[in-house]
Amino acid sequence: MMQVPRGCADVLPGEIELWQYIEDRARDICRRYNYAEIRTPIFEHTELFHRGVGETTDIVEKETYTFTDRGGRSLTLRPEGTASTVRSYVENKMYGSPQQPTKLYYIGPMFRYERPQAGRMRQFTQFGIEAIGSSDPAIDAETIALAMRFYGELGLKNLHVELNSLGDAESRAAHREALVKHFTPHIEGFCADCQSRLHRNPLRILDCKRDADKPQMKTAPVILDYLNAESAAYFDAVKKRLDLLGIHYEVNAHLVRGLDYYTHTAFEIMEQGIGAVSTICGGGRYNGLVEEVGGQDMPGIGFAMSIERVLLALKTQGIELPVEQSIDCYVIGLGEQADEKAFELLDKIRTAGLSADKDYQGRKMKAQLKSADRLQARAVVIIGEDELSRGVAVVKNMANGEQQEIVFDDVIQTLTHITQIGR
């Protein structure tokens, strides 16, 4: 038997309704915050991710799906959405639009070669937003607020925001020097990745999962002690705006994000109960990225979360989403001619905007009524030979069991009435 590839999953009817509901809520909140959707290709030139995610990240070092196409180009299935969004922003000169910052969101599949577990897939779907072209601390707060409102509207509770600042280039350079000094005498005891990161990007050592328990991790110099005055003021301004919106956060001086290009604000939103992977959203400011991808020096900020982890959080908290799984109407025709009439009527019902179905298996009346039940039909329309000859149909309101004979021309009106009050 053929099986779905490891770390991938089919989303089937029954579960897909939850995905659609969550995606609809994402689109709706983006509309309210004035973010427009962008769809970029699933694969990009490999080079984009090397530049835009960073050579020293786990994503690029170990997790990419990279292949050579028949024309000899190296392409990579996108592992995240920011690099592609920024590439498109530069390529399409969105910085030239009078409306700034450029506010974009995406929902789509991402690919990482990971060790699969709950909430960690090889193909997963991210919802992310990016605001490019502003370094107003209010937009940092808005980014976090949008994510938290989104979760709140889904019914999620007890999430917490962890916040840090990675500072500007000057602050990061000072911190980097301190990190190299701190780790150099002990680096022998660290994993090979950390050893190679020591001079390339020592900040990434702090994000290492293998060496997380080493004593030197806890005593490592923290970036907050190295922020210059400007970066510290920026961080304070972000915090003040989060306070204005009533968003609680904890400063976590040890929070560093997996991607190389982050500056200033970095944050994660956590749900403690979902197991080993408690982060449901990660984001931050990336003031160096646009230039790295070949554009002008433009600030940016965004977040990404996967629908998989949102679902995990919802499940953990026992939240049932109000998803629609019923159908408006089920039409039954008994006997060949009545069945033809049923088929015709079905088409009219659908044209009128109602959802409806009938039997295509030649089943008996009882089995058809069972189908109607299974589909949670709000109304059932029955046409027998006798009704056919009199030009009427029996319309049954499934909510209260009432049934009436209705002339064919009035069936849709009756159905509309029943299904409207049934909602």
Question: Which residues of this chain interact with ligand ATP, rule CB under 6 A?
Answer: 80, 112, 114, 119-121, 124, 126, 258, 277, 279-282, 304-306, 308-309
Q: Give the position of tokens 């700034």.
A: 100
The smaller minimum CB distance to ligand ATP, of residues 111 and 226, is found at 111
Cβ-based nearer residue to ligand ATP, 120 or 348? 120
Q: Considering the complex, state which of residue 312 and residue 346 has its C-beta at the smaller distance from ligand ATP.
A: 312
Q: How far is the CB of 29 from ligand ATP (least distance, A)?
A: 17
- Going across the sheet that includes 249-251, the strands are 36-37, 102-111, 123-132, 300-306, 279-285, 263-270, 160-165, 249-251
Closest CB 88 distance from ligand ATP, rounded Å: 19
Which CB atom, from 173 or from 212, has the smaller least distance to ligand ATP? Answer: 212
* Residue reference for tokens 């995606």: 23
Q: Minimal distance in Å, beta carbon 407 to ligand ATP? A: 55
Q: Which is nearer to ligand ATP, 228 or 279 (CB)?
A: 279
Per the omega criterion (within 30 degrees of 0), is the bond before 299 cis?
no
Q: Which is nearer to ligand ATP, 57 or 171 (CB)?
A: 57
Least spacing, CB of residue 105 vs ligand ATP, in Å: 14
* Residues in a beta bridge with 265: 165
**Least distance (Å) between residue 121 CB and ligand ATP:** 4
* Closer by beta carbon to ligand ATP, 78 or else 396: 78
How many angstroms separate the most distant Cα atoms in the chain?
Answer: 95
- Cβ distance 412 to 351 under 8 Å? no
| Distance between CA atoms of residues 237 and 239, nearest Å | 5
Minimum distance from CB of 117 to ligand ATP (Å)?
Answer: 9
CB closer to ligand ATP out of 205 and 381: 205
Cα 43 to Cα 286: distance, rounded to the nearest angstrom? 22
| Minimum CB distance to ligand ATP, residue 42 (Å) | 16
Residue 254 CB, nearest approach to ligand ATP (Å): 13
In terms of CB distance, is 127 or 408 closer to ligand ATP? 127
* Residue 131: φ, ψ to 5°: -120, 115
Smaller CB separation from ligand ATP, 261 or 330:
261
Q: How near is the Cβ of 277 to ligand ATP at its closest, in Å?
A: 5
Question: What is the C-alpha to C-alpha distance for residues 12 and 352, in angstroms, rounded to an integer?
Answer: 28
Place of tokens 């025709």: 333
Please state, in angstroms and rounded to a whole number, the distance separating the CA atoms of residues 421 and 44: 50
d(CA 304, CA 364): 51
**Beta carbons of 35 and 105 less than 8 angstroms apart:** yes
Strands (E), 193-291: 249-251, 263-270, 279-285
Phi (first) and psi of residue 24, to 5 degrees: -60, -40
For residues 98 and 243, what is the distance between their CA atoms, to the nearest angstrom?
30
Are residues 280 and 158 in contact, defined by beta-carbon separation less than 8 angstroms?
no
- Least separation in angstroms between CB 175 and ligand ATP: 20
User: Could you please report the per-residue DSSP string of 321-380?
Assistant: P------SEEEEE-SHHHHHHHHHHHHHHHHTT--EEE--S---HHHHHHHHHHTT-SEE
Query: Which DSSP symbol is given to 203?
Result: G
From the list 279, 21, 331, the residue with the least C-alpha distance to 159 is 279
**Shortest distance (Å) from residue 55 CB to ligand ATP:** 16
**Tokens linked to 36:** 């427009």
Of 65 and 95, which has the nearer Cβ to ligand ATP?
65
